[in-house]
Structure 1
Amino acid sequence: MKKRATSKGPTRGKSSAPSRSDMQSGKQSQSTGGAGRLRIIGGRFKRRLLTVIDAPGLRPTPDRVRETLYNWLGVHVGGARVLDLFAGSGALGLEALSREAAHVTFVERDSRVARALQANLATLASDESLPASVMSNETIHWLDTAQPPQGGMDLVLLDPPFRLDLAAPSCALLESRHWLSDSAMIYLEVEASLDPVVPANWQLHRESRAGDSHGRLYQRHPPA
């Protein structure tokens, strides 16, 4: 699975950490050598092809990984408020949008990658307005300073760059800053060697391992 943008730290200055668009499994990646293509695999935009710009390490989440995740999620996507963190190409969030999510918020640090994602949303929208927004910001800073929607997000897609210790603080902020609805689903992908620290009221629902990646789907329960 691709590694996309990093998140901003507690200060307003730009983080020196590489972004998810700079990282692949925790290592500096080479450029793709030209624009690529992203195929949406399900929902109203099924089989639509979108451009993925040439940026270091920016590669859409593989079809089979997205298919597995959305098979897990099933009915939890339609009508959901979705947050795609470290969005990169937006592959995960675009699938939710295609499957009738109520709204998808993409958070991407790299401004050029964020603009490309906005362009792809415009391509899908054609003559209609899609329920989506792109925040060009670093995730940790954004989670810590932005205003969560009333009632929280129903689905969070969290795929931070590997080996930068961003998973635990992201999860902690999602919980402490009230970003989540009572029964929110959270998909977290980290390096296979990492046992992620998540809030105690998140229950593991499904998990799968592919190469150096370990994907886990949690369901939140309100704290006792």
Structure 2
Amino acid sequence: MDDGMTIAQVAQRTGLTAHTLRYYERAGLMLEPPPRGDNGHRRYTERDADWIALLTRLRASGMPIAAMRRYAELVRRGRDTYVARKELLEAHRADVGVTVDVGRGLFIPVVRDTGNRPLAEIAGDLVGFRKTALTGSFRERDLQGGAITLTLHTHDGIVFAVPIVFPGQTCALSLTAPRSEVVQDGSGFAVRRTATIGLAYDHRFINGRDAAEFLGELRTALESPARFLTENG
């Protein structure tokens, strides 16, 4: 039997490496081992490829391998585990580390559960972080558990920054301070305010296409803040 996709084809489709695909299998993340063709090589089905795409999204969210393995186990057990699966996903919150530097060293406190909280409440956390940074009184738990880090570069003259992906995370986002830029506007010119966003990510877990789509969605939100604030409180 030689139907299905080779590991090279799945790697090209998902943006993962063949090494990562083999690791997913060894780690018990696949619903079942891919069948083998007549030559003994793996032959992935469409169901396998769709599942790998889901694993990629879970990993990109910062979900630990152990939690992904647990999720796969629940899926294997069937529909009766729907509630348990939902609870596992809800438990994996969007916790975002944000760089804070007030001249007394760099801190990266974590804003908890950003996906389920109003923007005004998150802004309050950020103000509180700056106050805490001034006294250097962060607790260890304040700095742990981030799934992604947002690095802020607010000094004048910085037009682009390449963030570093921290251990235990899969990506980091950089944001520069707004600046004025002259752009063509019809037959004339206009001045607009711009900021640069950048994304560094671990290509073993994040597809470049998904990263680009994420940046596109973020750009849309930043360019239409009134709509974003309405939709996110």
Which structure has the larger Rg over C-alpha atoms? 2
Higher relative contact order (CA 8 A, sep 6+): 1
**TM-score > 0.5 by shorter chain:** no
How does the TM-score come out when normalised to structure 1?
Answer: 0.24
TM-score by length of 2: 0.24
Higher share in strand: 1
